[in-house]
Amino acid sequence: MTARYSPAIDVTAVDAIDFHTHVEIDGAGHCAYDDELAEATGRYFKLGPDYFARVDDLAEHYRQHNTAAVVFTIDAHTVSGHQPNSVEELIEGTIRNNDVLIPFGSVDPWSTDAVARVAELSGDYGVRGFKFHPSLQGFEPNDRRFYPIYEAIGAAGVPALFHTGQTGLGSALPGGHGIKLRYSDPMLLDDVAADFPDLTVVMAHPAVPWVDAQIAIASHKANVFVDLSGWSPKYFPPQLVSAIGRQLRTKALFGTDHPYIALDRWRRDFDTLGVDPAVVPLILKENALRVLGLA
C-alpha cells in the first residue's frame, strides 16, 4: 500500500485552488479512455496528440502559477469495458507533490466493491473527495442502489464531485460513443443532496442546458456547490454570471477542467466578467478551502 496523503499546502500563500483537473494517464502510458474516445476528445478541445499530463508535470505547472489543484481520474470500466489509469499511482504522485496537489478518488458505481473502495481510498490512502461522471459511467445518481456509496463518502467526511451538463467526451462520434447526457441532469443531484444533507455535493461545470436548474439547486441546498470548470468564462450563461456575484457568491468554485481549459485562459477570461472584487477571492480560493476542509 502507498503512503497516506496529507496536504502540505500553504493556504495563505497560494493564489487560488483549481477544483477540477484531470490526470488520466499513468506512468505506464495507460489512459482512462479508449483510443477512439481519447482521440475524439483531443479533437473536440483542439488539443495536441499528447494532451494528457502526468501527475508530476501537472504539479510543476501549477506550482509555477502559485495555484493548488484537485486532481482525479474517472473509473468507468463496467460501462466502457476499459480499465482506468492507476488511482493508486495518482495518489502517490500527489504525495510527492502535496504542496500543490489534492487527490480525489474515483469508484465505478456499478462495481460490487464500490463501497469498500470508498472506505479504502479515503481511510487508507487519504483522498479528499470523490469524482463521478454519470454520463461516462452510465448511471442515474439518484438511483437508490447507489445510495450506500454516498453513505460511505458522507461517513468519510469528504465531498462528492459530479459532472453535470453537456460533455465534450464523445462529441462528434456516432451516438456520442454511447454516452448519454441525461444522466448528468443536475436535477438528479437535487434528490441526492436532499437525501444526504450531511454530504457535500459539488456540481461540476456550468450545467448547460440545465443552468437555471443548477443555480436553483445550489441556492436551495446548503450542502451543494458549483465548480466553474469546463467552459471559458467568456461563454458562461449570463444568469450564471449574475448568480456568481449574488446567491452563489459563497457557493461557486474556481476550476479549469485541465487539460481541456488552460489555467491562464480561464483566469484571463474570468477577469473580463466584472465580478465584484470582494467576491473574487471567495471563488478563487476561500470557498474551496471550506469544501475541502482546509480552511
Domain membership flag for residue 8: no
Q: What is the Cα–Cα distance from 190 to 209, expressed in whole angstroms?
A: 16
Domain membership flag for residue 10: no
Q: What is the pLDDT of residues 44-60, one digit of tens each?
A: 888 876 777 899 999 99
Domain membership flag for residue 11: no
Instruction: Assess whether pLDDT exceeds 70 at residue 291.
Output: yes
Task: Scan for cell 483531443, then name that residue.
Answer: 42
pTM beyond 0.95: the answer is: yes
Please count the structural domains in the chain: 1
Q: What is the pLDDT of residues 170-223, one digit of tens each?
A: 999 999 999 999 999 999 999 999 999 999 999 999 999 999 999 999 999 999
What is the four-CA torsion angle of 209, 213, 217, 218, rounded to 10 degrees?
50
State the DSSP string of 95-141.
Answer: HHTTTTEEE-B---TTSTTHHHHHHIIIIIS----EEE-HHHHT--T
Q: Which CATH number goes with the domain that contains 231? A: 3.20.20.140
Domain membership flag for residue 184: yes
- Give the confidence band of 2 by pLDDT, cuts at 50, 70, 90: low
Q: What is the pLDDT of residues 83-104, one digit of tens each?
A: 999 999 999 999 999 999 999 9
Domain membership flag for residue 227: yes
Domain membership flag for residue 6: no
**pLDDT over 90 percentage in the chain:** 88
Query: What b/e string do you get for 115-145 counting C-beta neighbours within 10 Å, with b at 16 or more?
Result: bebbebbbeebbbbbbbbbbbbbbbbbbeee
| pLDDT in the model for residue 116 | 98
Q: What is the Cα–Cα distance from 102 to 17, expressed in whole angstroms?
A: 10
Q: How long, in residues, is the chain?
A: 295
Q: What rounded mean pLDDT belongs to the chain? A: 96
Domain membership flag for residue 2: no
| pLDDT in the model for residue 46 | 87
Domain membership flag for residue 4: no
Domain limits for position 183: 16-292
Instruction: Assess whether pLDDT exceeds 60 at residue 6.
Output: yes
| pLDDT in the model for residue 1 | 54
Q: What is the pLDDT of residues 104-140, one digit of tens each?
A: 999 999 999 999 999 999 999 999 999 999 999 999 9
Spatial contact of 97 and 56, defined as CB atoms under 8 Å apart: yes
| Phi, psi angles (nearest 5°) of residue 102 | -130, 115
What's the rounded mean pLDDT across residues 8-16? 97
Q: What is the Cα–Cα distance from 227 to 18, expressed in whole angstroms?
A: 9
